[in-house]
Amino acid sequence: MKKIVKTVVCTGGGTGGHIYPGLAVADELKERDPSVRIIWFGSSSGRDRDMVEANRNRRGLPSVDGFVGIPSGKLRRYFSLQNLFDLFKIAAGFFTALFYLKRIKPLAVFSKGGFVSVPPCAAAKVLGIPVYTHECDFSPGLATRLNSRFAACILLSYEQSKRFFPEKLQSSLLVTGNPVRPVFYDADAAQGRAFLDLKDAESEKPLLLVLGGSSGARQINDLIFKNFDWLCEHFIVVHQTGKGSDYERAVSAEFEAARLRKRYLPYDFIYAQMPHLIAACDIVFSRAGANSLWECAVCAKPMLLLPLAGAGTRGDQVENAAWFVNQGAALLLEAQSASSAAGGLQPDALSAALKSHLTQMKDAGFRSDMGKSALKAAGGEKSARKIADILYTGVLAQHDI
């Protein structure tokens, strides 16, 4: 009898937020059974392939065994002539996915969302391949809402998210938490401090790690620059600015004195060392993207959050932030207000709120309690392992010899 190759297709892309959690699940599947073959379906344009192929598991081996690029069109909630052109891209993505799924013959498709994931999930449904889809945010995005129509199992990060799905899908819902790469559970604070080249004598102030995602966050960067002297007086500030003009300003002569005194440590982008930096820091100041929140939570770090809000966003970061605040794991820097065209507090009020919250977080006991709440919110079981177990017992175990 011909041996069945236990193959799983993972799909998702467009941003690291749709890719890295999926890679965490891939790593756990490989950890459970090294013979499992994993193929990633991502966008044929952009950085999806580079991000997927660069990732390594804890053994230093590639997380996936192959990458398939498919055409990807954006699904917009508003009228745009671009929607017409993107319909052709989505159709092309469907037929491309259909061709490769027939050829690869996976036992399951696991989706981490993003527009690129919809055609493979639809094609898998047509071919009778079980689809498992995961939503990282508090409320489901459009891609998840579409993929849920094709899914045998819908995986959620939050128990409260069940209410966003119709009654007929309730039996398909499972709460797993949000998958985080294994390296965050093994993060080494000493390695993070070594990366920063900080000696004990330079560490009498709390370490404030400022994150705005890989591309930076202009609102957060402006807030750091506006309150620069006060921040460097009270903290050692490690600032991921994103590439571009904000980083150029951060390394300019304007802030040279603080850099030389190691009170201000700017970086345009941090990847491999990020888990260790989070472990080393005392406070994280960031947006409220789901992955950043959960990565900080599993490292038991207190968070100060400035969620992306207003026009151009569906409010997912506001919802994510509110959940962590309610768990006692974070402080919210701003609530949406009509007083600002950017959808937040006026700059002076924002600065005052920043100083007020950070003054409160200077207390080591307060930070410790908040960090414990963050770790509790993330749950005792590794979400990526839980999802890998669901995939394995639901589909792959049936083909064990």
Q: What is the pLDDT of residue 344?
A: 55
pLDDT tens sequence for the chain (401 residues) = 456 789 999 999 888 788 999 999 999 999 999 999 999 999 988 889 999 998 888 778 889 999 999 998 666 555 566 666 777 888 999 999 999 999 999 999 999 988 899 999 999 999 999 999 999 999 999 899 999 999 999 999 999 999 999 999 999 999 999 999 888 999 999 999 999 998 765 567 999 999 965 555 889 999 999 999 999 999 999 999 988 889 999 999 999 999 999 999 999 989 889 999 999 999 999 999 999 999 999 999 999 999 988 766 778 899 999 999 999 999 998 744 434 444 456 778 899 999 999 999 999 999 999 999 999 999 888 999 999 999 999 998 887 75
Q: Does the residue 153 lie in any domain? A: yes
Q: What is the pLDDT of residue 336?
A: 44
Q: Does the residue 2 lie in any domain? A: no
Q: What is the CA radius of gyration of the chain?
A: 22
Shared domain for 117 and 27, answered yes or no, is: yes
**Whether the Cβ atoms of residue 51 and residue 114 lie closer than 8 Å to each other:** no
Shared domain for 159 and 248, answered yes or no, is: no
Q: Does the residue 1 lie in any domain? A: no
Q: What residue numbers bound the domain in which 196 lies?
A: 186-378
Q: Does the residue 149 lie in any domain? A: yes
Q: Give the contacts of 239 (CB within 8 A, at least 6 positions apart).
A: 210, 221, 224, 250, 264, 265, 266, 267
Q: Does the residue 266 lie in any domain? A: yes
Dist CA 389 CA 182 (whole Å): 15
Q: How many distinct helices (H) and strands (E) make up the chain?
A: 16, 13
| Short-list 164, 168, 136, CA closest to 320 | 136
Q: Give the contacts of 343 (CB within 8 A, at least 6 positions apart).
A: 309, 310, 311, 336, 337
Q: What is the pTM of this model?
A: 0.89
Q: Match 């070594």 to its residue by tokens.
A: 194
Strand locations in 74-178 (E): 108-111, 131-135, 153-156, 173-175
**Run of H or E including 331:** strand 330-332
Shared domain for 168 and 227, answered yes or no, is: no
Q: Does the residue 24 lie in any domain? A: yes
Q: Match 């992306």 to its residue by tokens.
A: 308
Shared domain for 191 and 92, answered yes or no, is: no
Q: What is the pLDDT of residue 337?
A: 41
| Short-list 227, 229, 242, CA closest to 286 | 242
Shared domain for 364 and 386, answered yes or no, is: no
3 state DSSP class of 166? coil
Shared domain for 176 and 193, answered yes or no, is: no
**Whether the Cβ atoms of residue 71 and residue 48 lie closer than 8 Å to each other:** no
| Short-list 249, 347, 359, 274, CA closest to 306 | 347
**Run of H or E including 392:** helix 383-394
Q: Does the residue 168 lie in any domain? A: yes
Shared domain for 386 and 367, answered yes or no, is: no
Shared domain for 129 and 265, answered yes or no, is: no
Q: How many domains does the chain have?
A: 2
Domain of residue 273, CATH code: 3.40.50.2000
Shared domain for 392 and 288, answered yes or no, is: no
Shared domain for 174 and 314, answered yes or no, is: no
**Whether the Cβ atoms of residue 297 and residue 373 lie closer than 8 Å to each other:** no
Shared domain for 236 and 366, answered yes or no, is: yes
Shared domain for 190 and 224, answered yes or no, is: yes
Residue type, 288: A
Length of the chain in residues, anyone? 401
> For residue 156, what are the CA distances in angstroms to 198, 235, 289?
39, 36, 15
Q: Does the residue 176 lie in any domain? A: yes
- The count of C-alpha atoms lying within 13 angstroms of the C-alpha of 88, restricted to the half-sphere facing its C-beta, is 4
> For residue 25, what are the CA distances in angstroms to 70, 144, 271, 274, 379?
21, 18, 19, 19, 17
Strand locations in 47-141 (E): 66-70, 108-111, 131-135
